Amino acid sequence: MKTEMQNWRNHLLTEDVKKQIENELIMFLESEDLDEGIMDRLLPYVLAGGAALGGMAGTAQAKPISQDVAAKRIVKVLNQKDIKDQSGLDVTFYDFDSEVQDIAKQISILSKTVPDKDEGAIINIVANGIEANYKNGIPKDTNFDTAEDAVKLSVSKIKKRQRSKKMVGAQKFKTGDARLAALNSLNNISADMMQKRDTGDSVSRFAKDLNVAVKSGAVSKSEYNQIKDVMKGDQSNKLSLVSDILQKGVKQ
C-alpha cells in the first residue's frame, strides 16, 4: 500500500512538472516579447523578418541545434545546478547518457520547429523542470521521460498552430492585397490602443504583415525605410505617419 501511494504521489508530481515545462515552452515560443511601450519595441521585430532585404540590419537569429549540441548544452546547464539524487548525493550528468540523448533529440526538433527562438531559453526551461523533479525525489528515468514527453507535446502543439496560421495566411492572400493587409493590421493596433486592450497580438500581426508586404513587393524598400525611420523617431503619432505611407500606395 505504501508503495502504491508513493507511485501515485510521483505520478501527480511528474504530471505537474510536465505541464509546467509544456506551458512555459509554449508561452516562450509564442511570445513576441512585446510590452506596453509598443511602437518603441516594434522595429526590431520588423527588421528581424526583413534582414535579407537589401542588407538591412536585423536582430540576431538563433540557429536550430543538433541533438549532440543540445545534449552537451543541457548537460552543462544541469551540472551547474545543485542537483542531488534520492540518497542526497550529487548527480553528474553526461551527454552520452541515453536519457540525455532522448531529451536532446526533442530539444533539437523543437529548435528546428521554431528556429527564430533562443534555444538557450528552451534548454533552461527543460533543465529547470528536471531540477524540480529531482527535488521532488523523482527517479532519473522517470524524470527524463517526463521532460521528454513535455517537449514532445510542445512540438506537436506548435506545429499544429503553425499549420493553422499558414492556412489563415493563405486565405488572406486570396481575399486581399498584402499592402492592404498591413494597413488593416496597423489599424487594429490603433483600435486596441483606443479601447485600452493588450496590443501584443495586433503588433505581432502588423510586423508579420509588413514583412510579407515587403517581400512580395507590395511595399517598396523605399517605403519600408520610411516606415523604419518613423519608428526610430520620437514622434508621438507614429501610427498615423505609418498609416499615411501605406495608404498612399493603396489609393494609387
- Answer whether residue 166 is part of any domain: no
CA 131 to CA 146: how far, in whole Å?
A: 12
Region for 89 from its dihedrals, namely left if φ exceeds 0, alpha if ψ lies in -120 to 50, beta otherwise: beta
Question: In the chain, how many domains are there?
Answer: 2
pLDDT at site 175:
41
Instruction: Specify whether 128 is located in the same domain as 15.
Output: yes
pLDDT at site 97:
95
Backbone angles phi, psi at 84, to 5 degrees: -125, 155
Q: Of 111, 126, 160, which one is at a domain's C-terminal end? A: 160
The segments of the chain whose pLDDT lies below 70 read 1-2, 31-63, 165-176, 234-236, 249-252
Three cell numbers at 211? 514583412
pLDDT at site 167:
58
> Residue 194 is inside which H or E element, if any?
helix 178-194
- Answer whether residue 111 is part of any domain: yes
Instruction: Specify whether 150 is located in the same domain as 182.
Output: no
Instruction: Specify whether 102 is located in the same domain as 12.
Output: yes
Considering the entire predicted model, what is its pTM?
Answer: 0.57
> Residue 134 is inside which H or E element, if any?
helix 119-135
CA 146 to CA 151: how far, in whole Å?
A: 9
Instruction: Specify whether 104 is located in the same domain as 10.
Output: yes
- Answer whether residue 168 is part of any domain: no
pLDDT at site 76:
95
**DSSP one-letter code for 63:** -
**Domain range for 152:** 2-34+59-160
Three cell numbers at 117? 527562438
